Structure 1
Amino acid sequence: MLRNREIQYLLFAMCSISLLSAAAAAFFSLGAAVLVFISSVLLIGCNLIFTSWRYREIEKLSGYLRQISSGNYSLDVRDNHEGELSILKNDIYKVTLMLTEHGSLLQQDKIQLTDAISDISHQLKTPLTSMIMMADLLGDGELPAAKRTEFTSNIRIQLERIEWLISSLLKISKIDAGTVLFKKDRIWVEKLIQKALEPVLIPMDIKEQTVSIQGESNVSFLGDLNWTAEAVINILKNCVEHTGEGGVIAITFEENALFTEIRIADNGKGIAKEDLPYIFKRFYKGKNASEGSIGIGLAMAHSIITSQNGNIEVKSEQEKGTQFCIKFYK
């Protein structure tokens, strides 16, 4: 403490003032000079004791901060007494809690990133292995023309699947990173449904499925038309995929003072009860998933909807159908 230049200046100033005060008091009487001198010594002593205590407290805080910097967030430095040191201790504790939360979130992000990379590698490995085998077979000059055409068609299908997977992952990554700026335009739900149905009309026609749409033409909400259509398309694809030939897909929508609601229901084979909590999880495939399913379409739909102040829920009974309920809150 005494090596601190500020403390040295303070001691010099207090001693000088004390000596001058004692010398001035000596002009009146010796007793007054002694009294002033003793009082000055006591005051200087109290100041040194208090300053020493503050230094010890600051040293404790320094040690606490060193432990925090080394990754130990378990210490509790809170102080319920009044004073600037107590306020400083409580503020440091708040920062410690915040660092703990950030560290936990970073750890979770690392785990999720590792899992995502593992899942992506797994999803790409299967079609790539298949294409490598078919490419080797295509190199055989004696391969029949029919097989050559079949292998070429299969390679094209696998490439389209990889392209869709990478495109979907890029979209989800942008949403997660917060780099997607969703528009706040007035979206008419009727127009949204028509836009989302266009890509699935051919698959529905092949399976002889029908669609019914019920809702007022003035129902709307604020959002991004293209991104929301992307979400609805993925939900419709799921319904078409899990509904048999001659099935029905029913779409209803309405608006109230709190939210705009869109319901998409099918009379397909439904979702197993144990799969329901996980269908919006990336790369999750339920028991009834098709062979070519990747498990990312509904995850992307969930990300798009929730990023626009929305919510999506699902209800399903096996062999009775599935209903997706989308709400965009005002």
Structure 2
Amino acid sequence: MLRNKEIRVFVISTVLILGIGVLLGYIHSPVTALFIAVVGGTLAVCYIVWMIWRYQRMIQLSSYLRKIMAGDTSLDVRDNREGDLSILKNEIYKMTRMLSEQQEGLKKDKEKLTDAISDISHQIKTPLTSMTVMADLLSEPDLEVEKRQEFTYHIRRQLERMEWLVSSLLKLSKIDAGTTLFHKEKIEAKQLVKEAAAPMEIPLELKEIDLEIEGEPCTAFIGDKNWTKEACINILKNAVEHTPNGGKITISYEENAIYTEIRIRDNGQGIEKTEIPHVFKRFYKGSHAADGSVGIGLAMAYSIVTNQQGDIEVNSEPGRGTTFILKFYKQVV
């Protein structure tokens, strides 16, 4: 402790002041000199003892900080007593908890990034292998024209599928990482449903599916229009895939004092009861999944809705169709 310059200065100053006081007291009388020496010495000893105790606590805090820097964020150094050192210990504890939470957040972000990269590599592996084989066949000079056109068509389809897949996975990764900014604007349900149904006009016409839209014209909610429209498109696309030729899809919407609800109902094959808890999982494909389905559309719809503090539910009966229910709650001011 005496290696500390401040302590050395204090001890030397105390001894000099005490010596001068004793000398001046001795001039007055020996008793006065003795009294000054006893009182001054006692105060000096008490202060030195207090300083040693304080110095030991500082060493303890330094030890805590070294452990924290080494990665041990589980230390609990809270101190509810009064005093500057207690305040310092509580601040160190707050900093430790903040670092621990940041570390956990970074760990989760890394896991999400790893999962996203794994998902992308897994999903593009099959089409890449297929295109490699077809590219090798296209390099043969004596390949028939019909086969060449067929292989070219399939390669183009696979490239389009890969482009959509990578784009969707990147969107999902941004949503999972919390880097996607969802705007808050008033959305008219009628206009939203109309825009979501527009891209599905050709698939609906090819399968002769009747699309019925019903609801109050004034129905509205607060959310991000573009992202919510994408969620509705993915659910509507899923409904078209699972609705037989000549079937029917109904989109309805209504508003109450608590939330605005959008229902997308089809009369298709339905979903088995055991499969319902898994329909929103990424890359999950049910027993009635269409050929070429990768199981990402409903997962994206789920992420979009829930990240806007909404809910999405599914009700289904095998052979009687499926209903997806999107709920957007009122904003509390």
Q: Provide the residue aligned with 2:120 in structure 1.
A: 120
Report which stretch shifted further, 202-211 or 90-99.
90-99
**Amino acid corresponding to residue 203 of structure 1 in structure 2:** P
Q: What is the match of residue 278 of structure 1?
A: 278
Are the equivalent residues in 1 in contact too, given 2:137–2:143 (CA < 8 A)?
yes
Report SS of the residue matched to 1:273.
Answer: coil
Alignment correspondent of 2:248: 248
- Counting only pairs closer than 5 Å after superposition, residues 144-163 of structure 1 correspond to structure 2 as 144-163=144-163
Q: Which residue of 1 aligns with 2:188?
A: 188
User: Deviations 1:135-188 (Å, cap 9, x if unpaired)?
Assistant: 111222332232222211111110110111122223233434444443333211
Q: Can you give the 5+ residue segments of structure 1 that lack an aligned partner in the other structure?
A: none
What SS does the aligned partner of 2:117 have?
helix
CA contact (8 A) 2:116 2:169 kept: no
Q: Which amino acid aligns with 2:46?
A: C
CA distance in 2, matches of 1:192, 1:301: 15
Kindly report the root-mean-square deviation, in angstroms, between the aligned alpha carbons of the 2 structures: 2.1
What TM-score comes out, normalization by structure 1 length? 0.92
Distance 1:273 1:103 in 2: 40
Which moves more between the two structures, 156-165 or 266-275? Answer: 266-275
2:300 alignment counterpart:
300
Report how far residue 193 of structure 1 moved.
0.4
CA displacement 1:35-62 (0-9 Å, x = unmatched)? 1111111111111111111111111121
Q: Report what 2:214 is aligned to.
A: 214
The 8 Å contact of residues 109 and 177 in structure 2, kept in 1 or not, is answered as no
- Secondary structure of the 1:114 match is helix
**2: CA distance, partners of 1:119 / 1:178:** 18
Q: Is the 2:204–2:210 contact (alpha carbons within 8 Å) kept by the matching residues of 1?
A: yes
Q: Distance in 1 between matches of 2:102 and 2:283?
A: 27
1:63-102 maps to which residues of 2 (within 5 A)?
Answer: 63-102=63-102
1:273–1:255 CA distance, 2 compared to 1 (3 A): same
Residue 130 of structure 1: SS of its match in structure 2? Answer: helix
**What one-letter code is carried by the residue in structure 2 that aligns with 1:100?**
S
Contact in 1 for aligned 2:242/2:268 (Cα 8 Å): yes
Residue of structure 1 equivalent to 2:226 = 226
How far off is 1:199 after superposition? Answer: 1.0
TM-aligned CA distance change 1:82 to 1:288, over 3 Å: farther
Deviations 1:53-78 (Å, cap 9, x if unpaired)?
Answer: 11111111211211121122333323
Between the aligned partners of 1:245 and 1:96, the Cα distance in structure 2 is: 61
Name the counterpart of 2:173: 173
Identity of aligned residues (%): 55
Structure 1 residue 133, shift from structure 2 partner: 0.7
Alpha-carbon distance between aligned partners in 2 of 1:317 and 1:25, rounded to the nearest angstrom: 103
TM-score, with length taken from structure 2: 0.91
Q: Evaluate the alpha carbon distance shift between residue 19 and residue 228 of structure 1 in structure 2; reply closer, same or farther with a 3 A threshold.
A: same
Amino acid at match of 1:245: N
CA apart distance, 1:231: 1.3
Q: Does the 8 A contact of 2:22 with 2:37 survive in 1? A: yes
Once residues 81 and 274 of structure 2 are traced to their aligned partners in structure 1, the CA distance between those partners, rounded to angstroms, is: 53
Counterpart of 2:142 in 1: which secondary structure? coil
1:41 maps onto 2:41 in alignment:
yes
Matches of 2:214 and 2:81, distance apart in 1 = 65
| 1:313 equivalent in alignment to 2:303 | no
- Aligned to 2:308, what secondary structure does the other structure show? coil
Conservation of the 8 A alpha-carbon contact between 2:112 and 2:176:
no
Distance between the aligned counterparts of 2:95 and 2:313, measured in 1?
37
* Structure 2 equivalent of residue 111 of structure 1: 111
Cα drift, residue 100 of structure 1:
2.5
Relative to structure 1, the CA distance from residue 256 to residue 90 in structure 2 (aligned partners, 3 Å threshold; closer, same or farther) is same
Counterpart-to-counterpart distance in 2, 1:180 and 1:75? 35
Amino acid at match of 1:109: D
Matched residue count: 330
